[in-house]
Amino acid sequence: MKQLFDNVSYKCSKLVTNTYSTSFSLATKMLSQNIRDHIYNIYGFVRFADEIVDTFHEYDKEGLLDKFEKDYYISKHQGISLNPILNSFIYTVNKFNIPDDLVKAFLKSMRADLHKTEYKTQEEYNEYIYGSADVVGLMCLKVFVKGDEKRYEELKAPAMRLGSAFQKVNFLRDLKDDVEFLNRSYFPNINLKELDATSKEQIINEIEEDFEYAFKNGILQLPIEAKFGVYMAYRYYRKLLKKLKATPSSKIMDTRIRISNPMKINLLARSYVKYKLNLI
């Protein structure tokens, strides 16, 4: 029975989410049960691709990514993959009609991480963020609206801005690893090795604008099944940004900003109260 294999595949995607990101898995648990597994399926796919380009340095990363992409398209055509992560992602892609241009844009940004180390123009920067983050938000939005194309188009821009905000926070938080170990510089026209207060403020203001737009125009308008989980992720990243904002620019390279588990529980409790009181 293929259903048994599919169930194993979904559990694998959930395991990947829970293992690689306690914060994302916590937010995903706050989604309605009928959409939760599909977000795990999306996360499993994007996490594996990201691991290839960011972690597997002692292997042929380009060959691995080529095979991952080729296997995806062959399996999508066949309707099954013996790679459980691909198998579960294909199910979600087909069920919610996730456009192939979103998958292609994501893989293009992942492929850029194999060779590109510096983003010199705003256009290059925006294209990378679109592929690495915005499209993931749009994949999730496809699940949230369950085929309602009108609602998808209405919420598309806020979903992209939220994805951008999350990615830019990640860039700031992971500055040391990106610059010193991966030799990457994402923010254009900014010397990240000597990040000054003005440049840091510019980046943070940009992120805050993204968050404000996404919250007012997107999160508040989401279907009830998705709203609390997305709001929880939003609160988590806003807390990360607050800590980054309070960290002197000269210290960001030497400080790994984290949210402790007790703080995550505190955020969850406070967010839940707001949700139940219809304040979001």
Domain extent listing, the chain: 2-276
Superfamily of domain 2-276: Farnesyl Diphosphate Synthase (1.10.600.10)
Name residue 118's beta-bridge partners: 185
Q: Give the pLDDT score at 279.
A: 64
Alpha-carbon span 123 to 100, nearest angstrom: 22
Q: What is the mean pLDDT, run by run of 10 residues, along the chain of 280 residues?
A: 93 97 91 96 98 96 98 97 98 97 98 93 96 98 96 98 96 85 86 85 96 97 95 94 90 79 78 71
Closest CA to 55 of 177, 145, 230, 172: 177
**Residue 15 CB coordination number (10 Å):** 15
Q: At residue 185, what are phi and psi to the nearest 5 degrees?
A: -135, 105
CA distances from 100 to 16, 37, 103, 121, 256 (A): 23, 20, 5, 27, 36
The pLDDT value given to residue 209: 98
Count of beta carbons in the 10 Å neighbourhood of residue 82: 10
